[in-house]
Amino acid sequence: MPQTYTFSACGAQDGKVNPHATADLHPKALATRTPPETKGPTVKDDSVRIESYNAHTVATTVGLKVASMLSTMKTGFADQCASFVAKEIAIQGVLNAVVGGIPTIQYPFYLNFGRELWALSRKGIAGPSALMQGVSLEEKYEDYGLAAVTLKKIALDVFTMIIP
């Protein structure tokens, strides 16, 4: 039995035009229109998902996948670690050179500022976008009570970023 559809003239309903209205269809077309058939559930049930997960996590399979990528992973980690440590040492140098000194309890906050700037470069963010993010980070850490002058010096000396 064909489903009947109700519609208003010109598809207007409560003063709004309905773009999906069937007002412009011929009555014969409306009479032959049937709702789409359901093809059954489109979502996988839990047993299928569990079987798939178990197939991907078999120890021998995972071991082979990791073993094939291990040398690349070690090289990538060594490169990132060298870059990261060099930046942290440079940040500590800036902090140690501050006239009047920085309380050691604040060092982790300054280092976190530098880590966030380093992460930007690692993610490939550069140019005006990096500068906007750097300004935002400087404001964030200034709100934590850190000295704006020191944050800007870290950005300039370690990351060559001029924060106004």
Q: How many C-beta atoms lie closer than 10 Å to residue 12's C-beta?
A: 13
Average of per-residue pLDDT across 126-134: 91
- Indicate the Cα dihedral angle 97, 101, 105, 106, nearest 10°: -60
Measured in whole angstroms, the distance separating CA 3 from the mean position of its chain's CA atoms is: 46
Average of per-residue pLDDT across 108-114: 94
Tell me which DSSP letter residue 24 carries.
T
pTM for the predicted model, two decimal places: 0.59
- Structural domains of the chain, ranges and CATH numbers in brackets: 1-37 (no CATH), 70-159 (1.20.58)
Tell me: pLDDT of 164 over 60.
yes
Average of per-residue pLDDT across 99-124: 90
One-letter amino acid of 56: H
Average of per-residue pLDDT across 27-47: 68
Q: How confident is the model at residue 135 (pLDDT cuts 50, 70, 90)?
A: very high
Q: How many C-beta atoms lie closer than 10 Å to residue 61's C-beta?
A: 11
Helix (H, G, I), strand (E, B) or coil at 149: helix
Tell me: pLDDT of 22 over 60.
no
Residue closest to 161 by CA, chosen among 109, 103, 90: 90
Tell me: pLDDT of 101 over 70.
yes
